[in-house]
Structure 1
Amino acid sequence: MNAEQQVLQAARTLVEAFASNDTEGYFAAFSTDATFVFHTTTLPLIGRAAYRALWDDWQRDGFRVLACASSNPVVSLQGELAIFIHDVATRLQVGGEVVESLERETIVFRQQQEQGRWLACHEHLSAMPEQLPTT
């Protein structure tokens, strides 16, 4: 499997864990020093632990991922880094209400030297501009 295929597989694993609300599997796809920028939070989250703490709060408040589908994947290899861009259609339960969203996401993966495994080290999620047609 070449590097691009490895990154695509790492992204699929991450999205599948998120889609199935598999907390442990989802967070295992990120390095401990990962950073996160979400249009739904006021500040960036620095470190996997910061995001995990917020996730756990959300879960206690009734947050659940019901479905997530990735489309239009693009991979750009940059040495030991890979930039993965895709569109994300998500269905969530938030406080007893079902919410659907269409977003665009960039995930930066870094190849781990000791295992050769690709882990996400940065995630940036943006709302899909409403004036654009879905792709």
Structure 2
Amino acid sequence: MNAHDEVLSAAAQLVSAFARNDREAYFGAFSADASFVFYTLPEPLLSRDAYQVLWDSWRQEQGFEVLSCTSSNAFVSLQGDVAIFVHDVATELRMQGEQYFSQERETIVFKRQEPRAQEQKGLWLACHEHLSAMPERLPSP
């Protein structure tokens, strides 16, 4: 598999883990020093641990649950051992017993990790995620 397809696969696995509320697989797709910029939060989250703490509080205090997540219009730009993945994402979730639907555009930066002894190629882990609201004038996917 070439690097472009590896990144697409890593992104698909990340989105799939999010869609099925698989906390371990979802956060396992990010490096420990990953950063997160979400337009719904007042400030960036500067580590995977910071996001995990927030995720856990959402689940415990607000009944946060992802019901579905669909990626479309994917684009990958390879920059050596870094890849920029951009896509549109439609998400349905539940918080405080109410369902919400959002259409967003997301950029995820992946970095190829050093290969482990049993692997021939390095693993692509997300090191930055930036989520933006979809402009309202665009049609639904």
TM-score if structure 2 supplies the norm length? 0.94
Partner residue in 1 for 2:31: 31
Structure 1 runs of 4+ aligned residues shifted over 4 Å read: none
Partner residue in 2 for 1:128: 134
The amino acid across from 2:139 in the alignment is P
Q: Secondary structure at the match of 2:67?
A: strand
Identity %: 62
The amino acid across from 1:82 in the alignment is A
**What's the C-alpha RMSD, in Å, of the aligned pairs?**
0.8
Aligned pair 1:40/2:40, yes or no?
Answer: yes
- Larger gyration radius, structure 1 or structure 2: 2
Query: Quick check: 31-40 or 124-133, which moved more?
Result: 124-133
Partner residue in 1 for 2:56: 56
The amino acid across from 1:45 in the alignment is L
The amino acid across from 1:46 in the alignment is L
2-structure distance, mates of 1:114, 1:9: 17
Shift of 1:8: 0.2
Partner residue in 2 for 1:119: 125
2-structure distance, mates of 1:23, 1:40: 20
TM-score if structure 1 supplies the norm length? 0.98
The amino acid across from 1:106 in the alignment is T
Aligned length: 135
1-structure distance, mates of 2:59, 2:10: 24
Partner residue in 2 for 1:89: 90
The amino acid across from 2:2 in the alignment is N
Q: Deviations over 1:89-114 (max 9, x none)?
A: 00000110000000000000000013
Partner residue in 2 for 1:8: 8
Partner residue in 2 for 1:106: 107
2-structure distance, mates of 1:21, 1:129: 26
The amino acid across from 1:39 in the alignment is Y
The gaps in structure 1 that reach 5 residues or longer are none
Shift of 1:120: 0.1
Shift of 1:131: 1.3
1-structure distance, mates of 2:53, 2:21: 15
2-structure distance, mates of 1:42, 1:96: 24
